[in-house]
Structure 1
Amino acid sequence: MYNGNVFELHPLAVRSDKRNQGIGRTIVTALEDEARKQGGLTIYLGADDEIGDGECSLANVDLFDDFQGK
């Protein structure tokens, strides 16, 4: 769909007790580095992958208690 020029991180979620430790930053930096190596021009961070009552299709659980898209 994106001709190999766009990368997507979908979703980015860090367990609440592991936040503020640079984990999300490390994931995004690694993706940026890999996208750059492969000629990527754009990175999308998706937050719209809900099914049913807002469960994320990643694990069929609601990762976002106060997600505005519900």
Structure 2
Amino acid sequence: MHIQITDDLRDEVREQIRAMRSMSPDDVPPITDNPEKCTACSARPYCLPEETLQLEPDRMPSQEWEEYV
């Protein structure tokens, strides 16, 4: 399969690179509304969903979290 590299695709790649370079290790992603997604997530050690549920339950985006822990 061949993919024609267009100016639009180049611009999209450049934008994605800019977005990645602007990321900081201090940026914590928002907690997902589906706790099952957290199981294999690489950011889990940073966002600590179970700890957040215990300490700040109002930050949890859905009722599903109450059943998760």
When the two structures are superposed, what TM-score results if normalisation uses the length of structure 2?
0.26
Which protein has greater RCO, CA pairs closer than 8 Å, 6+ apart?
1
Asked which structure has the greater CA Rg, the reply is 2
When the two structures are superposed, what TM-score results if normalisation uses the length of structure 1?
0.26
Greater helix share, structure number: 2
